[in-house]
């Protein structure tokens, strides 16, 4: 009979020692201050809050500023970063949307079918300032959100255009968060 590494519980059911070790280590790690930082954003300068002070739209596409502010608010809130007024926030974020557009190009996997790729872009510049010492942490950094959509249609519907712009804005929001956390 092979020797088994099993510990018997008080009800005489075998319990794997690896499982016991895992439970014990999780218990000790949770009580020593260790935390998994899977979805949390770490802001520069040990900041815990941010002000979305100026998000302005200089493009000819309406409401992009409002949609980007909504996307950033959702991303920061989901990651336990407080959105506060500029008077009490640790950081102040400003973003200026300079251009938004969509371009169409031919796209075909073979010569028998004709399809098109629509490329949505939203570009602008990011500035982040520490409100404690008024120091520029990021100054006029150019970022571009991109979304690509492939279809057999030569034109897009209004819904597809709106969805494409929103996807490009979400990509831009991800880039803003990445730029803010990657630099520090």
Q: Which residues of the chain have pLDDT under 50?
A: 1-3, 5-6, 8-9, 32-38, 184
CA atoms of 117 and 103, how far apart (whole Å) = 8
Return left, alpha or beta for 9; rule: phi > 0 is left, psi -120 to 50 is alpha, else beta: beta
pLDDT at 42: 80
For 117, residues 6+ apart whose C-beta sits below 8 A from its C-beta are 104, 105, 106, 107, 148, 149, 150
CA atoms of 151 and 117, how far apart (whole Å) = 7
pLDDT at 114: 86
CA atoms of 69 and 14, how far apart (whole Å) = 55
Cα-Cα end-to-end distance for the chain: 58
Tell me the pTM: 0.75
Domain segments of the chain as ranges: 1-35, 41-182
Domain covering 41-182 assigned CATH 1.10.3720.10 in the classification = no
């Amino acid at each position: 009979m092979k020797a088994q590494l099993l510990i018997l519980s008080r009800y005489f059911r075998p319990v794997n020692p690896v499982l016991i070790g895992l439970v014990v280590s999780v218990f000790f790690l949770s009580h020593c201050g260790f935390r998994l930082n899977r979805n949390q954003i770490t802001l520069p300068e040990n900041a815990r809050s941010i002000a979305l002070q100026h998000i302005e739209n200089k493009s000819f596409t309406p409401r992009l500023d409002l949609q980007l502010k909504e996307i950033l608010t959702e991303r920061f809130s989901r990651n336990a970063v407080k959105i506060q007024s500029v008077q009490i926030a640790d950081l102040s974020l400003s973003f200026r949307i300079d251009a938004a557009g969509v371009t169409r190009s031919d796209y075909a996997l073979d010569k028998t079918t004709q399809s098109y790729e629509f490329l949505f872009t939203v570009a602008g510049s990011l500035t982040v300032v520490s409100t404690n010492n008024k120091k520029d942490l990021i100054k006029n950094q150019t970022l571009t959100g991109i979304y690509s959509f492939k279809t057999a249609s030569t034109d897009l519907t209004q819904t597809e255009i709106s969805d494409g712009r929103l996807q490009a804005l979400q990509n831009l929001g991800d880039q803003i968060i990445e730029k803010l956390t990657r630099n520090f």
